[in-house]
Structure 1
């Protein structure tokens, strides 16, 4: 997990070449890699492809959307000079898959240990749900006043109904 600047989570390992693509061989390889940490992917590449970022040979990965809660990503490191171990720095580079908890505050950037970032995708991430808001005091006053008027109307209606009988 230190590969992406996190201390907790899991990595299914590095795989030779760029597996982040939509052809059947790559989709099957992704499915197998993601199954290593009990994540069952639906194999729909178009959904994943829509999250793809290709920022180039940098060490900070910035996503277009914040990551929240349980998150599963794939990163392809290209064959940059001096990129490092795990099949990275060789022709075709390597692809790694990670699963981690991005928390409720969210993560938008990951600091990468290896240079040669080619592309990254998101297989799963949560969404931010803001806590329910507490009404302003004026709203409470208006709501209580409305209930009072409603109660008065009901009580008057009962009186008029009883007097007519």
Structure 2
């Protein structure tokens, strides 16, 4: 009987604690706007980079990084000249994705239909040039200390000479 009384007391105590314990937890609601704000790019976040651009302030680092990419594209197209029916020169914007490992991929290109129709294999050559880009140091979201994927818009000049017969 004595054990039954203690068991009943213990059971009722646990029941009381489990019911009343729910009130000890404070519910916090975070609005979607606050989540987006904390997730969006912040000036204190670390953009993708290369080692030779490290140690610079954020703006200089971005210029250095984009300069490295432009050098890679310029070198690629100098070594792999494009041919067209007529001389062409047009600036296009490439939207590049840089994943959490620093690997580049083409997200989008705004090359005109005219350029795509007149420069044979342009899309393939752009893909080949992107494949030549060495992995970068990935972007870091500083408020959580995580490497994150990011996108970059890079203007490049496409030049094509008439095909030689």
> TM-score over 0.5 for the alignment?
no
Point out the structure with the larger helix share: 2
TM-score normalised by length of structure 2: 0.24
TM-score normalised by length of structure 1: 0.24
